[in-house]
Amino acid sequence: MEYPIQVLSLIDDIFLLLLALTLVAIAIMYVIDVRQTTHAVRRNYPVIGRFRYLFEKLGEFFRQYFFAMDREELPFNRAERSWVYRAAKGEDTTVPFGSTRDLRPAGTVLFVNCPYPTLERDAVEPGPLMYGPYSRQPYENASFFNVSAMSFGAISAPAVRALSSGAKRAGCWLNTGEGGLSPYHLEGGADVLFQIGTARYGVRDHAGHLSDDRLREIAAHEQVRMFEIKLSQGAKPGKGGILPGGKVTEEIARIRFIQVGQDSISPNRHPDVNSTVELLDFVAHVREVTGKPTGFKCVMGTSEWLDELCQEVLKRGIESAPDFITIDSADGGTGAAPMSLIDYMGLPIRESLPLVADTLIRYGLKERIRLIASGKLITPGEVAWALCVGADAVNSARGFMFSLGCIQALQCNRNTCPTGVTTHDPDLQKGLVVMDKAERVYRYATTLRKQVGVIAHSCGVTQPRGLQRHHCRIVQSSGRSLPLDELYPPPPATPPVDTVAAGGR
Ligand SMILES: Cc1cc2nc3c(=O)[nH]c(=O)nc-3n(C[C@H](O)[C@H](O)[C@H](O)COP(=O)(O)O)c2cc1C
Ligand code: SF4
């Protein structure tokens, strides 16, 4: 096919024009780069230096595909993420050839199989566990794996909707996080734990104080089953929640009772909770006003206060105890937090969970106060470890984010999440199709619970809650592994406090 001469000459002209424009742009960038004083690389390597930023940015997306090995990345490596993705998609979760997990490093968790594993016909489903036997409306739930606190604000409306529907089908509870109760939390019908953050979003009056009327309104929703007072979060103990202004939409501002477009920063603690005594008073007040089980969430740092709390509970009577304590890990996730706190502050769950479980056992309160653990417990092995140590249930945030399609692009604080999980940009949210992702949430939760059952049966017990410390060993620096019950011998217990119909593990 022949082009007329005029067309060819037009293409020539366009090409020359584009070339000239490119050269002019490069010349302008060159001048800008050599004259600016903030970026040394661009000053020393004008124009070319700019590619460094581009590659750094693209590296966040691509290194996981091209360069990182299966067990290399943090916070979650490819093996862990792939397990969640496959479980969520309902794909085969078996792997070929052999384990890529190095079983030698100190800290490696191993379970001890029994010569006579539980036969399928003898396996049972875990029964319901009661929370808050002394509250007016105790709560029963059988799921030992649930959706951890993530506020509407930190995550998007479609993400909350998918979690709500998926959690309902899987029988899990859904924690609102500190951003208040949105219609999306209720939409799918799941049991809801309402979290009271330090800013009391959703239950505050005009001056920011706790409003009993608002508390009663929230508690009037039958779906809202328990209340969790947030003392601290693993990723940022000593710092309140941060929702960058870019993510404070009109709807979020209305639910939280704050200004549109302004950073939403919670105080770094409840201003009126200064001591163990005041903490127990606060728990009692919320439980009295709402009639529902009430507990608190924290990350452990110092631990003497927990002894004080148990002693105060025994002094007041066991009805006064928090109905549950959620222990978060220092390496827990967040929408946004300062690196100084994310990287350095608080104890990891491996250390804090045995410490808290033992304290509760020592004071005979282990049956009365339910123990919930969170922090990178997203695969069956990690959840089984927590049950062995003494957790009654495990919460996960990022495990469920992966089930929603999160690719660990690490932009949760910028409103540019490429998978729609943590952005309020409607264009980006289009990728998250609620009903499809709800199905994945359901499959992830149920497959995980099933696989913890498989570990339990291999250990010779009939169900996950039968797992005990002697079923789990930890590899030491010598290369030998030791059982958890030797590493953390059960403390001499005060006889367990009689708990009304607390229900067994
Ligand atoms: C996006 C995001 C938002 C979160 N928001 C809250 C919150 O509002 N309140 C809270 O107590 N924890 C919050 N967390 C912490 C989680 O509930 C959880 O404790 C922590 O991430 C550890 O669980 P994981 O390792 O399974 O993510 C958030 C975590 C993420 C990733
Ligand atoms: S994909 Fe979205 S939710 Fe996942 S880490 Fe990246 S920004 Fe955060």
In angstroms, the CA 369 to CA 357 distance is 10
Q: How far is the CA of 418 from the centre of ligand 2 (A)?
A: 7
Top-confidence residue, 256 or 456: 456
Averaged pLDDT, 447-466: 98
Whether 417 is in the pocket of ligand 2, judged by its Cβ within 6 Å, is yes
Residue range 333-347: mean pLDDT, rounded: 87
**What would the mean pLDDT of 392-411 be, rounded to a whole number?**
94
- Ligand whose nearest atom lies closest to the CA of 160: 1
Question: Where is average pLDDT lowest: 9-13, 178-182, 273-277?
Answer: 9-13
For ligand 1, mutation pick of 150, 299, 441 (most atoms within 8 Å of CB): 150
pTM for this entry: 0.89
Which protein residue has the closest C-alpha to ligand 1 atom 5?
Answer: 150
Q: How far is the CA of 397 from the centre of ligand 1 (A)?
A: 5
Is 376's C-beta closer than 6 angstroms to any atom of ligand 1?
Answer: yes
Instruction: State phi, psi for 243 to the nearest 5 degrees.
Output: -120, 110
Query: Higher pLDDT residue, 397 or 69?
Result: 397
Span 179-201, average pLDDT: 96
Contact between residue 233 and residue 201 where contact means Cβ atoms under 8 Å apart = no
Classify residue 207 by its DSSP letter.
T
Distance 173 CA to ligand 1 centre (A): 14
pLDDT in tens, 146-165: 999 999 999 999 999 999 99
Which ligand is closest in space to the CA of residue 383?
Answer: 1
Q: Whose CA is nearest to atom 4 of ligand 2?
A: 406
Q: Give the torsion sign (CA, 164, 168, 171, 173).
A: positive
Q: Which atom of ligand 1 is nearest to the CA of 422?
A: 1
| 358 within 8 A of 491, measured Cβ to Cβ | yes
The residue count of the chain comes to 505
Tell whether the model's pLDDT for residue 239 goes beyond 80.
yes
Q: What span, in angstroms and rounded, lies between the C-alpha atoms of 118 and 466? A: 12
Q: Stretch 16-45: mean pLDDT, rounded? A: 88
- Taking the centre of ligand 2 as the mean of its atom positions, its distance from the CA of residue 315, in whole angstroms, is 46
How high is the mean pLDDT of the chain?
Answer: 91
Contacts (Cβ under 8 Å, ≥6 apart) of 194: 176, 181, 202, 203, 218, 219, 224, 226, 227, 228
Q: Which of 494, 275, 484 is nearest to 388 (CA)?
A: 484
Residue 253: phi and psi, rounded to 5, are -60, -40
CA dihedral of residues 104, 111, 131, 398 (deg, nearest 10)? 40
Rounded to an integer, the average pLDDT of 51-57 is 70
Q: Which of the four pLDDT bands, split at 50, 70 and 90, describes residue 501?
A: very low
366 CA to centre of ligand 2 in angstroms: 36
pLDDT in tens, 264-284: 888 999 999 999 999 999 999
pLDDT of the residue at 503: 45
Q: Which ligand is nearest to the CA of 73?
A: 2
Q: Which residue has the higher pLDDT, 325 or 5?
A: 325
Average pLDDT over residues 17-29: 94
Measured in angstroms, how far is the CA atom of residue 290 from the centroid of ligand 1? 24
Nearest atom within ligand 2 for CA of residue 402: 4
Taking alpha carbons only, the member of 205, 197, 203, 208 closest to residue 221 is 203
Q: How far is the CA of 195 from the centre of ligand 2 (A)?
A: 23
